[in-house]
Amino acid sequence: MSDPLLAIEHLRVDFPEVVAVNDLSLVIEPGDVCGLIGPNGAGKTTTMRAISGLQEFTRGSVRVAGHELAREPDELKRRLGFMPDFCPTYDQLTTWEFLEHYARAFAVPERAERIEECLELTWLTDKRDSLCEELSRGMKQRLVLAKTLLPNPQVLLLDEPASGLDPLGRIELRKILLQLRDAGKAVLISSHILTELSGFCNKAAIMERGRLVKFGTIADLGHQMSQRKISVKWRTAADKALEILKISGAKILEASAVGATFDFDGGTDALDELLKTLVTQGVRVAEWRGVGDDLEQIFLQSGAKELM
């Protein structure tokens, strides 16, 4: 079995008066986009800085594509791209010159072509000759993203990447992340705005006070939650369907002639059995979906606080 692209084991970061990250372990495979979720001060940025080597950690290990940070920091630098939550740019350089600086530093082959590609990918081609200081915050954010993508890293750490982007920018960011996912990259993306992450994260890591509260695929985490909210729509036999739901122990929240929303305490198997019963009893089910099988629901049920 090949190494995961990013493997963190028992990571601990101590600050003078507080344990910023405590015993954090997670694994991210190729093609994973993992949302690192948590309230302010949960330790998301510290975790990312520790993974990238910018923050010293007390214990634990970080491996990127099999290379351990403590032993092979240079190998790690070639394989990992870190986009911080602010935009470090040389204000007096043009966007092209800024990218050229990093292309040289990473010894990117066919520098000019790659810079053009990254500018195009982040919709900055028409700003190639603008000074960095003339760019808006959102544009700077895109420029730093372009810089992060420049050496084509296998693992990307994106700290609040959408915080300065307008709605269109966020949609485009989502497209880029989906492209990266399809290209087999591993992406760890932090945010406390959950709607930003919904839709393209297949994994989630929920942090609170430096600890990892939950980690897994979105589907698994949804299933782990003790109580699930289900929405069902039917075309026939509404009365019969409602009766089956009541018998199965579902707590009906809303009901109408065409469907219902209910809370269900049973596990995944019991839920599957319920659906099977409805169908075999002649209820024509038109729609069956979990409400809140998304990050927001998972986050709320994880016990973490201060959700935005």
Partner 1 sequence: MKLSENPIFLTHKRLVHRGGVLAAVLIAALIGFSLLIGLLNSLSETNLGWNHRSPEYVGKSCYAWIIGVEILILVIGGFSRIARAMQEDRKAGLWDSNRLTPLKPSEIVLGYWLAPALREFYMAAVLAGFGLIVVLVAHLPVSLWLGTQTLILSTAFFCGLLGMLVGMAMQKSSGILFVLGLIFTYPFAFIAPGRILTNFLFPIYGMVNLFHVREHDWSRDTELFGLPVPAIVISLALQVAIGWFVWRVLVRKTANPFQPLLLRWEAISIFSILVFAQHALVWGGWNEAEYGSRNEQLLCITHGGTLLVGLAMLMLASRPPEQVRVEAMRLGLQSVAQIFSRSSVSLALALGGVSALAMTLQFYTHLANDLSRLGVAVVNLLNIFVIFSLLLEFCRLRHKRRSLGFAALWLFVLAAVPLILAGVFQSVEIARNCLLAPGFIALADGRDFPPLHTVNCFHLAIAVFIFFNWRRQWQKLLQRAA
Give the nearest distance from C-beta 163 to partner 1 in angstroms: 15
Work out whether 107 is an interface residue with partner 1 (CB under 8 A). Answer: yes
CB of residue 12 to partner 1, shortest distance in Å: 9
User: Does 16 interact with partner 1 (rule: CB under 8 A)?
Assistant: yes
Out of 9, 101, 216, 255, the residue judged to bind partner 1 by CB under 8 A:
101
At closest approach, how far in Å is the CB of 97 from partner 1?
Answer: 7
Q: Is 58 in the site for partner 1 (CB under 8 A)?
A: yes
Q: Does 92 bind partner 1 (CB under 8 A)?
A: yes
**Which long-range contacts (C-beta less than 8 Å, at least 24 apart) are formed by 22-26?**
22/209, 22/210, 22/211, 23/60, 23/211, 23/212, 24/60, 24/207, 24/210, 24/211, 24/212, 25/60, 25/212, 26/205, 26/212, 26/215
* 111 lies in the site for partner 1, by CB under 8 A: no
**46 Cβ neighbours under 8 A, 6+ residues apart:** 13, 20, 21, 55, 210
Q: Give the torsion through C-alpha atoms of 189, 191, 193, 195, to 10 deg.
A: 10
Q: Is 215 in the site for partner 1 (CB under 8 A)?
A: no
Q: Are the C-beta atoms of 94 and 130 separated by less than 8 Å?
A: yes
Distance CA 157, CA 172 (A): 18
N-term to C-term CA, the chain:
39
Q: Note the maximum CA span of the chain.
A: 72
> Binding of partner 1 at residue 93 (CB under 8 A)?
yes
Closest approach of partner 1 to the CB of residue 108, in Å: 11
With beta carbons less than 8 A apart as the criterion, state whether 104 and 126 touch.
no
Question: Residue 74 Cβ, how far from partner 1 at the closest point, in Å?
Answer: 6
Is 89 near partner 1 (CB under 8 A)? yes
**Window contacting partner 1 (CB under 8 A); options: 23-31, 75-83, 178-186, 296-304:** 75-83
**What are the residues binding partner 1 (CB under 8 A)?**
14, 16, 52-54, 56, 58-59, 74, 77-78, 80, 82, 84, 86, 88-90, 92-93, 97, 100-102, 104-107
